Amino acid sequence: MNIIGRGLHNVSARSALHPACPWPALPPPINLRLYELPESPCPYLPGRLEQCRAFLAAAVAPHVYHQFMDAGFRRSGELFYQPVCRGCRACMPIRIPVDRFAPGKSQRRCFRRNSDLRITFDRPSFTEEKYDLYCRYVTRRHRKPAVPERDEFQAFLCTSPVETVEMAYRDSAGRLLAVGVCDVCADSLSSVYFYFDPDHERRGLGTFGAMVEIRLAQEMAIPYYYLGYWVSGCRSMEYKSQFRPFELLHPDGVWREGIDGAVMRKQDSQGIRELP
């Protein structure tokens, strides 16, 4: 979800939660001015509207950022946002307890299939090579009608107010096939974005990238890997629930172990996660 550049509408300081906000308030002593983004078509569920409340920050301490994530916030560049969509709580933050992660057969095959790739770690930075790869990814994979501007790409993935690592995946010929961006906290490794060469879709680079990031969390003794939102009813997000066991953040602010995606879809059809 790239929302850099959208207009912000002021919401008074210490304002109450949006009437349909599915997440708990930030824990004290955190107190800040939030802004309400205008409604726009939901990028995940057809026919629905998306709305978030947000704030901008040039620097955020890791432990504070972790608290934001545990209140349902995500980051896009220097903008931190939380879904407050009216009548919907389909977006549920998802995380993996890395010490308990058990890869399935297809995930193990995917890891072996990509064992030829060389991975380098660095701070996020702009290059034409990465920008070109990102443009090909979003226009073909997500069918974006227009090529993103360079400054939009830089604001989204090259600017960070927290500790962030960028992973570049190259084949034996040195060609850049994928890039992953993760935020690092003491208790969490959070996937910000992962993009890859659409000509190599059969490699399963998205799955491989998530497994690499889980291993990184394990090596750094970080207990949780945050995957962003698991969006109920969105097929493109179902892969996230294949990393098991996983936990979902519920409306009462408690992380609970998730259940199979098919069961979740059945619950959706019964309106369990729909607000009145």
What is the 3-class SS of 117-136, one letter each residue? Answer: CEEEEECCCCCHHHHHHHHH
Clarify whether residues 148 and 229 are in a common domain. Answer: yes
Residue 1 covered by a domain: no
- Looking at the fold, whether 185 and 244 belong to one and the same domain comes out as yes
* DSSP calls for 64-99: HHHHHHTTT-EEETTEEEEE--TT---EEEEEEEGG
What's the CA dihedral at 144, 150, 153, 159 to 10 degrees? -170
75 and 101 assigned to the same domain: no
- Do 196 and 253 reside in the same domain of the chain? yes
Same domain? For 177 and 42 the reply is no
- Report which DSSP code applies to 252: T
Residue 243 within any structural domain of the chain: yes
246 domain-assigned: yes
Alpha carbon distance 3, 5 (integer Å): 6
Q: What is the predicted pLDDT for the residue at 17?
A: 43
Asked, for residue 186, whether it belongs to a domain, the answer is: yes
Please give the residue range of the domain that contains residue 37. Answer: 9-91+265-269
**pLDDT (average), residues 12-16:** 37
148 and 257 housed in the same domain: yes
- Do 106 and 171 share a structural domain? yes
Q: Are residues 82 and 99 in the same domain?
A: no
Do residues 210 and 243 touch, judged by C-beta distance below 8 A?
A: yes
List pLDDT tens digits, range 45-104: 999 999 999 999 999 999 999 999 999 999 999 999 999 998 898 999 999 999 999 999
Contacts of the segment 141-150: beta carbons below 8 A, 24+ positions apart:
141/195, 141/198, 148/2, 150/126
State both tokens at 249. 């953040």
Please give the average per-residue pLDDT across 259-276, as a whole number: 46
93 with 224: CB under 8 angstroms?
no
Structural domain contains residue 276:
no
Tell me: do 100 and 46 sit in the same domain.
Answer: no
Query: pLDDT per residue over 129-172, tens digit each?
Result: 999 999 999 999 877 677 889 999 999 999 999 999 999 999 99
CATH number at residue 210: 3.40.630.30
Report if residue 2 sits inside a domain.
no
> CA–CA separation, 61 vs 51, rounded Å?
26
Please check whether residues 235 and 137 belong to one and the same domain. Answer: yes
pLDDT value at position 12?
35
**Are residues 108 and 83 both part of a single domain?**
no
- If phi > 0 it is left, if psi is from -120 to 50 it is alpha, else beta; for residue 253 that is left
Q: Could you read off the pLDDT of 103-132 as tens digits, one per residue? A: 999 999 999 999 999 999 999 999 999 999
The pLDDT score that the predictor gives to residue 6 is 39
On whether residue 275 sits in a domain, the answer given is no
Residue 44 falls inside a structural domain:
yes
Same domain, 34 and 159: no
Domain count, the chain: 2
